[in-house]
Structure 1
């Protein structure tokens, strides 16, 4: 059996192309959707199209809270037009809040369920808090945005696969 660069590259690239990027927006001072089900390896992007500044800050596990998770992610202050994006490689529930001022206390909190709730993102549905089928408030954020997202890690795999394929030829 002849091994080609294309067959080796396919082993590494196919999983990377399956990864999706999902948007969570701030609408009327709340995350939309507040709860999002994704698959491991998917990314979430929080674009700030709101008039106010926002910061995406990971909170402690369990029930949603406004307590920062020590060592958790923190986007820093994002102004209108800026975005924060994070890839979630492993299963679990990740809670987060808006870390600016009293926004968290006012309810600007959310949860990313990575491969743990419902379909694990495989069918591409997002759920709003308290509902299993509610759509986001004003935009179709329950669908991945744009083209497949190629992570830096998958780019490295592609390069290695191409190199190995060239050696085999």
Structure 2
């Protein structure tokens, strides 16, 4: 009886440890492209998270990182582009078709 109770306690403790060391859930954040701007214009995320941009404007746009780390094709109305951030840092980006459109993603470790 003591052995069964001891085994049960050990299993419960091991399950608890595996839950506490589980990797944090990766998230997908949304950015809307509308009215010639990115919304939100400044986004904070965590390494491993993704950002999905959706073109809700009435003209084509793209998503182009200033440092060249990511670049979408031209997005027609309703089209999306998704990118997963693997490193920490601040990533400035914009639309190469409309240079006044600027935004950034800050990625925390």
Q: Which ranges of structure 2 fall in alignment gaps of 5 or more residues?
A: 1-6
Q: RMSD over aligned Cα, in angstroms?
A: 2.1
TM-superposition CA deviations, 1:74-113 (whole Å, max 9, x none): 101110121000011221111111122xx11x2x111100
8 Å contact kept, 2:50–2:84: yes
What's the TM-score, normalizing by structure 2?
0.75
Question: Where does structure 1 lack aligned partners over 5 or more consecutive residues?
Answer: 61-68, 117-169
- What is the TM-score when the length of structure 1 is the normalising length? 0.50
Question: Does residue 1:90 correspond to 2:66, yes or no?
Answer: no
Alignment of 1:15 onto 2:23 = yes
Name the one with the larger strand percent. 2
Q: Count the aligned residue pairs.
A: 94
| Residue 114 of structure 1: aligned partner | 107
Structure 1 ranges of 4+ moved more than 3 A = none
Greater RCO structure (CA 8 Å; 6+ sep) = 1
Higher-Rg member (1/2): 2
Q: How does 1:4-83 map to 2 (within 5 A)?
A: 14-15=22-23, 18-60=25-67, 69=68, 72-83=69-80
